[in-house]
Amino acid sequence: MAYKRPSMLRFLRVRNFALIDQLELNFEDGFNLLSGETGAGKSIIVDALGLLAGSKASAEMVRAGETRAIVEAIFEADLADALGRLGLDSEGSDVIVRREISSDERNRVYVNNQPTTVSALRDLAPLLLDIHGQHEQQTLLDLSSQLALIDAFAETTITASTVRRLFASIQETEADLAAITAEHARKLERLDLLSFQHDEIQRADPRAGETEQIRSKLSILSNAGKLLEAASRGYESLYESENSVLSIIAQTQRAIREAAQHDTRLHPVAEQMEAARISIQDVAYSLRDYANQVDADPQELERTQARLAELERLHRKYGPDLLEHIQKVRREMDSIGLTETKKGELQNKMSALQLQYSEAAELLSKQRRAASNRLETAVERELRSLSMPHARFVIAWSTVSPGKANGLDRADFLFSANPGEEPRPLDRIASGGELSRVMLALRTVLAVDSTQKTLIFDEIDAGIGGKAAETVGRKIRELSSRYQTLCVTHLAQIAAFADHHYRIEKLLVDGRSVTRIDVLLGDERVEELVRMMSGSRVTDAARQHVKELLSGISTDAQDPKRDKQKKRGPHQSTVS
């Protein structure tokens, strides 16, 4: 089977972290291995990577005498979707992760040079790297990760994805239903108020523009006496009295007409006076008609005042446009029926989704549990080959109610390394080496993983040696065809299988300790493997044994690409 290459850790920079002053290291794909004397700083590098996986930081991690530690890595990974869900921008095929730890407990996290949170980093990190050997960094201990491993083995990842999608739809529908139910309840609480407002305005039966008309009418009724007097006096002055304006104009007209007989230039004046007489006469008639129409009825005044008071009271309660308000009330009352209909539709949708979820989750649970015995047997077989002949691996199943995104199952990985010991949850295993070998066994058994990442093994050589160590090395090498792997070990039998070997050593330069990292090739690598195998007793026989071991591994691999290595210069780091 051809495997798609996983995400890869390309570059690591560490500054002022624990003992390390400054370190830069480039990694390759395949099997990367760190070796060195105890105390040289191998585990510090794993701890630094743990920070990038979201582990807890503390001021004690900052190198003595410094104010800030920085750990930064560049991963080659296409995580645009995952970054987008976290509100972060993608930088093409690179993901740059940086953590800064201050001696005053202030910590910062950056992804692609964008500030983010440790929580976001913990969400992202499982897609980049998986550290085995440190309990707090071990995704194997996470229940959802355990189910994902089972799904990969049982080939139920598609069904599991369907269950997650249905669960997400149920949650979304639940939220919509809760919102519409709350909205419907609020509307029902307002229904009595809306009905009261509707009936109150409806009883008043206001008409468009009525309030202004009533105000105008009230002004007329309230001043009827003054209006009648003004109109009557005007009519009398213009028309009715003996010396009225029209009488004077008539006398003047007669005089001008007589004079016009002697001078024709007065004819236009006479015509203008006639026009003026007609206009004044019309005004007088209008005043007479107006006076006849003035209503001075006290009862009508009282009715008008009452109507205006009623309208103004409604305006104070409901605003300037009573007709618009009653339409708004009617629309809101109508919407109560619409929300009730929508609520019913969502309830039906919820019932259908829950049925689909139950069917899919029950099928998933059945398939998982059917495959668990085979997985237990396969893992135990691998553990026996890893020098754990009495190891027991058990999957304890329990049903979760109500169901979750992962389905109806809770799967607890139980393990015991020694005969007579009852299997216990993995998080109670004290040995990081045992935990690493369990994960190595699981990774070997599984054909593929649902996520692609860098696998980091620390303490995997605890309590083993000889043939068992060779088996561990061979299995890590097999894994490196699917994942980039990084392993810290003291055993030459494991180190011999590496594609890329890095030696970490602590030296004294100019009175200060420095950490030197070398990429080992050829004779340098042979000498390091001899040191790892024989300690201070380096013999020609030991060298020959190492060369034969490397030759046998190279022959077994039958992969020229694994032997192609590019040498880089040493990396130095000042430490205290």
Using a pLDDT cut of 70, give the percent of the chain over it: 89
Dihedral of CA 348/352/353/357: which sign? positive
Degrees to nearest 5, angle at CA 314 with 313 and 317: 95
Out of 336-340, 500-504, 530-534, the most confident range is 500-504
Say what the pTM is. Answer: 0.58
Q: What are phi and psi of 10, to 5 degrees?
A: -95, -35
Q: Quick one: average pLDDT of 2-8?
A: 54
pLDDT of residue 524: 87
Contact assessment for residue 475 and residue 386, using Cβ atoms and an 8 Å cutoff: yes
Per-residue pLDDT, averaged over 96-112, amounts to 88
For residues 182 and 484, what is the distance between their CA atoms, to the nearest angstrom? 52
CA nearest neighbour of 367 among 534, 160, 166, 225: 160
Q: Give the separation between CA 142 and CA 435, rounded to whole angstroms.
A: 13
Place of tokens 């022959």: 555
* Cα separation values, 553 from 31, 331, 444, 449, Å: 13, 81, 18, 26
The pLDDT tens digits for 272-321 are 988 988 999 999 899 898 888 887 788 888 888 888 888 889 899 888 88
For residue 247, count other CB atoms closer than 10 A to its CB.
14
Determine, yes or no, domain membership for 18.
Answer: no
| Assigned domain for 13 exists | no
Q: Which of 532, 156, 523, 548 is nearest to 370 (CA)?
A: 156
Q: Rounded to whole angstroms, how far apart are CA atoms 187 and 258?
A: 87
Please give the Cα distance from 283 to 294 (Å, whole number).
16
Q: What is the pLDDT of residue 183?
A: 79
- Could you tell me if 147 and 406 are in contact, meaning their C-beta atoms sit under 8 angstroms apart? yes
Burial class (CB in 10 A: 0-12, 13-18, 19+), 183: middle
Please, what is the average pLDDT of the chain?
A: 82
Distance CA(465)–CA(488), nearest Å, equals 15
pLDDT confidence tier of residue 351, bands split at 50, 70 and 90: very high
Model pLDDT, residue 463 = 67
pLDDT band for 443, please (50, 70, 90 cuts): confident
- What is the total residue count of the chain? 576
**Does the pLDDT at position 10 exceed 60?**
yes
Whether the pLDDT of residue 568 is over 60: the answer is no
Does any domain span residue 292? Answer: yes
User: Bigger pLDDT: 429 or 328?
Assistant: 328
Reported for 178-185, long-range contacts at CB under 8 A and 24+ positions apart, including other chains, are 180/339, 180/342, 180/343, 180/346, 181/343, 183/339, 184/336, 184/339, 184/340, 184/343
Which residue spans within 381-511 are E strands per DSSP? 392-404, 407-416, 424-425, 454-457, 484-488, 500-509
Q: What element of type H or E holds 22?
A: strand 20-26
With vertex at residue 200, the alpha carbon angle to CA 194 and CA 206, rounded to the nearest 5 degrees, is 120
> How confident is the model at residue 37, as a pLDDT?
82
- Side-chain half-sphere CA neighbours of 333 within 13 A: 15
Please give the residue range of the domain that contains residue 230.
187-334
Does the residue 325 lie in any domain? yes
User: How far does CA 361 lie from the centroid of its chain?
Assistant: 26
**Residue 397, domain member (yes or no):** no
**Phi and psi angles of residue 447, each rounded to the nearest 5 degrees, phi first:** -75, -40
- Mean predicted confidence (pLDDT) in 172-176: 92
| Residue pair 463/443 in contact by the 8 Å Cβ criterion | no
Strands 500-509 and 31-36: parallel
Report d(CA 107, CA 69) in Å as an integer. Answer: 10
Q: Which residues contact 488 (CB under 8 A, 6 or more apart)?
A: 33, 34, 35, 42, 43, 45, 46, 457, 458, 459
Q: Band of the pLDDT at 6, cuts 50, 70, 90?
A: low
- State the pLDDT at residue 574: 43
Dist. CA 23–CA 35, nearest whole Å: 16
State how far the Cα of 388 lies from the Cα of 391, in Å rounded to an integer. 5
- Distances in Å between the Cα of 498 and the Cα atoms of 30, 98, 470, 488, 525 are 8, 28, 11, 11, 11
Do the domain assignments include residue 205?
Answer: yes
∠ CA 16-18-24, rounded to 5°? 50
pLDDT tens digit sequence for 235-278: 888 888 888 888 888 889 899 888 888 888 989 998 998 898 89
Mean pLDDT of 57-61: 85
Angle at which helices 298-318 and 210-222 cross, to 10°: 140
Q: Which of 460-474, 476-490, 522-536 has the lowest mean pLDDT?
A: 460-474
Q: Is residue 420 part of a domain?
A: no
The residue written with tokens 């109610």 in the block is: 401
Model pLDDT for residues 454-482, shown as the tens digit of each residue? 888 887 777 677 777 888 888 888 888 88
From residue 572, alpha-carbon distances to 22, 506, 508 in Å are 7, 10, 12
DSSP string computed for 62-87: BPTT-SEEEEEEEEE---HHHHHHTT
The per-residue pLDDT for range 403-421, each reduced to its tens digit, is 999 999 999 889 898 888 8
Query: How far is Cα 204 from Cα 210, in angstroms, rounded to an integer?
Result: 11
Residue 380 counted as domain residue: no
Radius of gyration for the alpha carbons in the chain, expressed in angstroms and rounded:
47
Q: Which has more pLDDT, 222 or 573?
A: 222
* Number of folded domains that form the chain: 1
**Angle, alpha carbons 200-202-203 (nearest 5°):** 70
Can you name the residues that pair with 26 across neighbouring β-strands? 11
